[in-house]
Amino acid sequence: MFEVQQAAAGEWAVVAGGGRALLVAETDAARLRDLLAAVRAGFAETLDALVAHGLSRTPSFALIDVSAETALLAVRGTGLASVSERGSERVVAATGVSSWVELQLPGVESATLGPAATGATLPLTEGVVRGSTLRWTPAVTAEDVGATVAAPPKRERDTGPVEAVPAVVPEPEEIVAGPAVEPFADAPLPEPGTEPEPEPAAEPDPHTRVPEATIADVPETPPAAPAAAPAVAAEPAGYDHLFGATMVRSVEEAAVRPAEADEEAAPSRIDLPGFITDSFPSGADRLVGDHDGLTVMSGDLPERPAFEPDASDAGPAPAPQTFAVLLSDGRREPLSAPVVVGRAPSVTAVPSLRGARPVTLTSAEDDISRSHVAVAVEGDSVVVTDLHSRNGTMIVLPGKSPQKLRSGEPTTVVLGTVIDLGSGATLTVEAAG
């Protein structure tokens, strides 16, 4: 937990959350709300939010992150920090630095952002308050958290006697007796090997109606054919007048057999309309075989000449894009091979860049790193990588706000991008002439 010395009014405010605290010279309430969300997100996200409107409009600040084992500290402008490490005190300031000073504190014991506290301090876990001094110590964190978070009250177990609940026994359902069944008469059983006597036929029901006419049985021998009577045209019955009379045939006569081909019989002539017969070619012009004279075969078509593209239509192949960087001292370095730029660059700092060459660039304050940044061409793009520099690297894309590169992460840029190493040392990406 952090301790804050509050101020009634002033330009400094404290933003805390997620194990990070920021002392910033900011008075805009909306801007402070945005910084609170960034502080909750992380250390790098807070730096990105601070420089979102450009490095020139970035306020003075002091930022500390104690959420991990190794604490991180960043100081800019008039911001000030006092750090205690292994029993020794040191003051971190950003005097003469155009961006900010960023440090890793693996053995930090306590830290104070801003001037030393002269009055009483109040604890702060998360939020935004007006304040001029912020102090952090690991011992205070453990004590305050234990005192602030109260354990919920324990609930007493009820161990009194338990009253027995009488068991509910369902009442038996009433059984309703069905109709009485008469016992079988004592009838003698048939002896083995004898057939039972057939039961007498039941008398017909007087209410059953028996038709007068029934279907007679078919006689075993067909009756003699009656004498031929004169044919009398009978009226068709049912639907025979629509389909004709029904014909009765034997299986042999109704069998379907293929018609015998008559080789000498000529095919029957079919009368076709004139517009079809006039379009047929004459017999002399017809081809031999089953060709009808109308279908065009693929073999009858004339050969088409092979298509040959005109060489004059194809333009020259576009030349690959080449790039260069314009240094702040007026030099122009082509990117035909990767370059490592810094105060005293060494290509061994980036073993993955084969064929890289060092480019020395100095500044007025001489505060850029020895091997500060690497610039290389990959395909049709330029890739910039910050080589874990001390003060970081800013890039300004055309028409965009400045943004800080993440250490060790390659970033693709476009033509016209300005790479700012700090203290006026810049590189501008251009097309190689």
Q: pLDDT tens for residues 136-158?
A: 888 544 444 333 334 445 555 55
Question: Domain count of the chain?
Answer: 2
User: What CATH number is associated with residue 348?
Assistant: 2.60.200.20
Which has more confidence, 247 or 184? 247
Which domain, by its residues, includes 354?
323-431
pLDDT, tens digit, for every residue of 376-422? Answer: 999 889 999 999 998 899 999 999 999 999 999 999 999 999 999 98
Q: Rounded to 5 degrees, what angle do the CA atoms 101, 105, 111 make?
A: 85
* Within a domain: 398: yes
Percent helix, percent strand, percent coil in the chain, to nearest 5: 10, 25, 60
- Residue 124 makes CB contacts below 8 A (sequence gap 6+) with 1, 2, 3, 4, 14, 16, 21
* Within a domain: 371: yes
Final residue of a domain: which of 93, 127, 147?
147
Final residue of a domain: which of 95, 117, 147?
147
* Within a domain: 297: no
Q: In angstroms, rounded to a whole number, what is the distance separating the alpha carbons of residues 201 and 207?
A: 17
Q: Please name which of 137, 155, 139 lies closest in space to residue 147, comparing C-alpha atoms.
A: 139
* Within a domain: 288: no
Percent of the chain at pLDDT exceeding 70? 58
CB atoms within 10 A of CB 407: 14
Task: Give, for 32, the enclosing helix (H) or strand (E).
Answer: helix 29-41
Q: What is the overall mean pLDDT for the chain?
A: 76
* Within a domain: 216: no
* Within a domain: 404: yes
Q: In angstroms, rounded to a whole number, what is the distance separating the alpha carbons of residues 278 and 430?
A: 79
* Within a domain: 276: no
Mean pLDDT score, 169-191:
61
CA 246 to chain centre: 75
pLDDT, tens digit, for every residue of 103-134? Answer: 888 888 889 988 888 778 888 888 888 888 88
* Within a domain: 347: yes
- Residue 330 makes CB contacts below 8 A (sequence gap 6+) with none
The whole model's pTM is what? 0.36
